[in-house]
Each structure stands twice: as structure tokens, then as C-alpha cells.
Structure 1
Amino acid sequence: MIRILLVEDDENLGFLVQDNLENEGYTVQLCADGLTGLQVFAQQTFDLCILDVMLPVLDGFTLAEEIRKKNAFIPFIFLTAKAQPDDRIHGLRLGADDYLTKPFRLEELNLRLKAILKRTTQSTAKPSPKTTIAFGKSQLDYPNLLLWVQDKKQQLTQKEADVLRMLCLELNTIVKRELILKTIWEDNGYFVARSMDVFISKLRKYLRPDSSLRISTIHGVGYKLEELTTVAG
């Protein structure tokens, strides 16, 4: 049974979303403000969070940051009346798996939820046989979402690990943007593509101490993880 934390201060919308999701077979805990949502999250176990941005007491962005401190891997979706690109990018930088602008169709929310849960449960249940990948002076421990760079450990999110694994398995080869988007996000829309750019920037930052590696942008095509030197062993 998939458990969802829904934090929405609009009473009518909250009820409609909760009722719709429960009819789809999910168990939904509804909270009306960010602080209550954080307290409930700390007390119970959830598989996914749906967060409104404009919440009383504790806004949705701050709530997401606090949730990430407690569980770095749980997927979440932002619901908001804000349509400005900067708000979307800020939400994606926090690690949001999706972003829906009000008003939205409940059918669309259901489809996006199913896509996220399919991706995350598949990643957990069917790890690649090639679980630890060595590249440059670094290693990716994919099942545990760990990146080792110069003996320094970096905990990754599921999407960060997914993107890096794709690049590693095609080392020194261009991986097309469309392939990454369709494989990991199952979507190639504008805002999802911008989200991928954020993830690439994070991976570049993590790999910066390893001078033998570089993630190159091939404009209009995709990305390439390159080994710049031959590494012994």
C-alpha cells in the first residue's frame, strides 16, 4: 500500500485530491499547514509527498528542505498557483520529482504519480547487475546511492545516481538529452529538461575533485562523461 503525505491548505482542493487518490488505492494523510505536515512526516512512514508551495506556518519549499533532511530519497511533487519559471526551478533544485501548476486535472496528477512511483520502485526492486562502477579515480555504488571521489563519500539522490550511472555506462560517449529525459523522467518537456540541467550541474560539482573526469555538454545533442587521463588500477 503506497502511503502519500498531502499538505494543502485549500480545504476543498485538499479533500478532492485526497478522495481521488484514495479511490485510486493510495493511503493519503492530509495536512493543512507546513508545520503539521513536518510533524506528521516525522511520526509516520510515507512513500511520496505532495506539497503545496503557499502554505501557512511553514511554506512548501521550507517543508521540502526539512523533509529532505529526514529522508533524502523520498519523491515529492509541488502543487502551486505560481507559474513563474524561477519558482519551478527553485522547486526542482530542492529535488522535486515534478511540479504541477494550479488549476490541474486530477487525471494528470494520477498519471504523474504513477510515472514517479514506477520509476522509483523499479530502481529499488531491479538494480543493474553492474552495481559498482569505477571511472576515473571515482566509484559509483549505485544500489546504495553513494559516490566516492578521492576517498570522499557523497550521498546521492535516486535521480542523481540514475543520471550518473547512464553517463558512466557510456563513458567517453555522448548520451543524448532525449534518452536521459525519457529514461529517467519519462518526459522531455521544457521544465523537466531544465531540471536535468540542474542535476548535471550538481554532478559536475561532486566530481570536481577528480581531475581525471569531466562532464562535457555537447550543445543541442547531450552530455559526455570523459576520462581525461588513464588511471592505473
Structure 2
Amino acid sequence: MNKKRILYVEDDETLAFLTADNLEQYFDVVHCSNGSAAFELFCKEVFDLCVLDIMLPDMDGFEIATEIRKRNKEIPIIFLSAKTMKEDRIKGLKLGADDYLVKPYSIEELILKIEIFLNRSQKNIEKSKMTYILGSFEFEFENYSLKNDKKQITLTEREASLLKLFLDNVNTVLKREKILTSLWGNDDYFSGRSLDVFISRLRKILKEEASVKIENIPRVGFKMVID
């Protein structure tokens, strides 16, 4: 079985050697010692998880994570840091990290965390390949395809992601802020206006499907109802 590929970014040579040596027993580890090189590598190659030190030359771990999340919202990210400040931990998690380990950390704990997040990521991938049923339509998220006996529609990536979010939360109120941060990464004015446009597009596509509705919940958000 192919080993999962880990991008490991750490500028301390001794710590990097010891950590990578242990991780390589279980994973395919690619080590970088500075931030800009790591991000350049991330853009060129495929990884299953990122382990990022925060204090790095050239480009710190927070900056790398911010850029990674612009391109990939799903890949697990684990921060490593000598910083114990609660504010740093909160900042890391707000940037989309899955966990934050404080140095000196246990190699066993790091390996366990990696395995947990890789398993969760794999389940999310498998879930994304599912076919959803909404009325007479079948929706294949992986292919952005929405089809029934009469027509087939290819959605945009954002439309497909929005529809999947609704279908994963049928009959549940989704706050605008949750939708915006999940799909756009922020909840500013312009993202909010974009969301309204995409909601209108989905409603137009599904208007002939009487059993499917996207309801406005005033001053809160939206709810997809499927009878």
C-alpha cells in the first residue's frame, strides 16, 4: 500500500532529522527548512497532510497555512510551535489548522494526530464521491454534475460546494457566517453578495423541483428543505 505523503516544514536541523526519521517509518515525508520553498513545493506536488512549524525563515507557518487554505480547504494541517500563548493557538486554528502541538512534543502523539487526521480526510474524500438524491435529480459532487431524465447540468465549483453543504445539512438552518467561512474563507460584504447570487442560481436550477426548497431564515441564514 502506498504511504501517505506528508509535507513537513521545520528549520531546526536536529529536530527535523529526528522527527522525519521517525515519521518515515509510517509515511512518505518531504522535508523543507524554509517557508517559501515549502509553499512552492506544495503548489507543484500532491500531499495528504501538512506539518508546519510556525517560526520559519522567509515565510512563517501562519502565512503558509493561509496560502494553502486559499488553494485547498480540505488538506489537514498540524502546527508545531514553541509558542505556548493561547492567542497563537487560537490564531492557528482560525486559519484552518486541524491541531496545534507545543514543543517539545511527543513523536508518538504527533504520529497519532497525523493518523487521526488522515483517516478523517479519507472519509471526507469518500463522502465527496457519494451521489446525492434531491427530488428527481442526482447530484455527483466530484463531477459537479446535477442530472435527471430530462437534463444534465454542470455546476461551477462554488455552486457544487454550496449545494453539497446544503445537502450535508438538509432541514438544518445554516447561518450565513458558516456558509461564507466554509466556502469563501471569510464573511465580508462582497462574499455575502456573492452568496446571494449563488443561492439565486441554485433556486433557478431547482425551481421545477417542487420537493426541494432553499428557504430564507431572516437575519440568520438559509435552510434546504426536501420533502
Structure-1 residue corresponding to 2:54 = 53
Structure-1 residue corresponding to 2:85 = 84
Structure 1 counterpart of 2:78, which letter?
I
Report matched runs for 1:1-233 at 5 Å: 1-24=3-26, 26-127=27-128, 131=132, 143-144=141-142, 154=158, 168-169=169-170, 171=172, 202=181, 205=187, 209=196, 212-213=216-217, 227=223
C-alpha contact (below 8 Å) 1:48/1:75 kept by paired residues: yes
Q: TM-score, normalised on structure 2?
A: 0.64
Between 97-106 and 125-134, the greater mean CA deviation after superposition: 125-134
Structure 2 counterpart of 1:20, which letter?
N
How far 1:55 sits from its partner (Å)? 0.4
C-alpha contact (below 8 Å) 2:11/2:32 kept by paired residues: yes
* 1:15-44 deviation digits (Å, cap 9, x = unpaired): 1111111112x1101111111211222232
* 1:130-165 deviation digits (Å, cap 9, x = unpaired): 63669xxxxxx783599xxxx9974899xx999866
Return closer, same or farther for 1:118/1:15 CA change in 2, 3 Å cut-off: same
Structure 2 counterpart of 1:143, which letter?
F
Paired residue secondary structure (1:86): helix
* 1:151-202 deviation digits (Å, cap 9, x = unpaired): 9974899xx9998665x24526xxxxxxxxxxxxxxxxxxxxxxxxx96883
How far 1:75 sits from its partner (Å)? 1.7
For structure 1, list consecutive stretches of 5 or more residues without a partner in the other structure.
135-140, 173-197, 217-224
How far 1:46 sits from its partner (Å)? 1.0
- Cα distance in 2 for partners of 1:107, 1:161 equals 39
> Of the two, which has the highest radius of gyration?
2
C-alpha contact (below 8 Å) 2:170/2:223 kept by paired residues: no
Structure 2 counterpart of 1:6, which letter?
Y
Structure 1 counterpart of 2:141, which letter?
P
- Cα distance in 2 for partners of 1:110, 1:214 equals 45
Structure 1 counterpart of 2:101, which letter?
L
Paired residue secondary structure (2:141): coil
C-alpha contact (below 8 Å) 2:80/2:103 kept by paired residues: yes
How far 1:73 sits from its partner (Å)? 2.7
Paired residue secondary structure (1:212): strand
How many pairs does the alignment contain? 185
Structure 1 counterpart of 2:4, which letter?
I
Return closer, same or farther for 1:81/1:227 CA change in 2, 3 Å cut-off: same
- Cα distance in 2 for partners of 1:99, 1:156 equals 31
Q: Quote the RMSD (CA, aligned, Å).
A: 4.0
C-alpha contact (below 8 Å) 2:141/2:160 kept by paired residues: no
C-alpha contact (below 8 Å) 1:52/1:60 kept by paired residues: yes
- Cα distance in 2 for partners of 1:98, 1:156 equals 28
Return closer, same or farther for 1:143/1:53 CA change in 2, 3 Å cut-off: same
For structure 2, list consecutive stretches of 5 or more residues without a partner in the other structure.
145-154, 200-214
How far 1:61 sits from its partner (Å)? 0.7
C-alpha contact (below 8 Å) 1:215/1:226 kept by paired residues: no
C-alpha contact (below 8 Å) 1:214/1:227 kept by paired residues: no
How far 1:51 sits from its partner (Å)? 0.4
